Structure 1
Amino acid sequence: MILEALKRAVAGIAIGGILTFIALTIMKFNEYEATVSEIWMHMGASMLLGIYFGVSSLIFGDSGDNLVKKSIIHFLLSYSVWLIIAGTAGWVPLNVPVLLGSSLSFSLLYLLNWFGWFLYFKKVETTLNNHLQKNK
């Protein structure tokens, strides 16, 4: 379990680094200047989020809890971690209208992602069941 968490954390760091590189590329082509400490702060926040989202998927592991309970726990943890990191990095200004809008955006993106994975695994389940029925 610890080894799997480390693998996922490293994968999260890699994804955070790739997203930071994409953001820096956009900044370069738009001739936007930033200080090293600004880049450092945003890259660190991106990598922390990558680590969190990589490791937090372990919630959906093999325990006996149902999918809805796991999803609610994952959503609440993800929203809390995202809000803390995004607020600290300055991605989301801590005023009510922006906070409501970004919370709504986060929730909608989370739901789209959740339903995408749900539909994917339902399709895999159907394919496996059809394959098993055919090989009886």
Structure 2
Amino acid sequence: MSGLSPDTPRPTGVVVHAKSRVLELQYAGGEHYRVPFELLRIYSPSAEVRGHGPGQETLQTGKRDVTIVSIEGVGNYALQPTFSDGHSTGIYSWDLLYELATRQDALWREYLDKLAAAGVDRDTPMNAPGAPQGHCH
């Protein structure tokens, strides 16, 4: 999901829609996508979410109402948002953003399947009893 491909489209515009909680990505040729902040947050490329190796991912819950409080460019290859829950370590490369934008339906299904398998609800707070716990220390 990460890494940089020279073929990956680079957004020509990025709009943070605070009220509807979506990040709009505009591309040359008129293509545009609206990616919910929640999807961005639960698929953060950070070690805090992804872990440091296979099987170390931390299932994210309670992120339905998360917002982006600020967003910064990282070089010419990525964006780094700061979310309202304090998470700010995910660096979203153009190819990751494009994948999140174009594969939203499949990614939502995958996420909901993981929640069901873990026996937790999408809105369970991260630190609640029975909620998935992180592996990073």
- TM-score range (shorter-chain normalised) is under 0.3
**If each structure's helix is expressed as a fraction of its own residues, which one has the higher value?**
1
The structure that has the greater radius of gyration is 1
**Larger relative CO (CA 8 A, sep 6+): 1 or 2?**
2
**If each structure's strand is expressed as a fraction of its own residues, which one has the higher value?**
2
Provide TM-score, normalisation by structure 1: 0.23
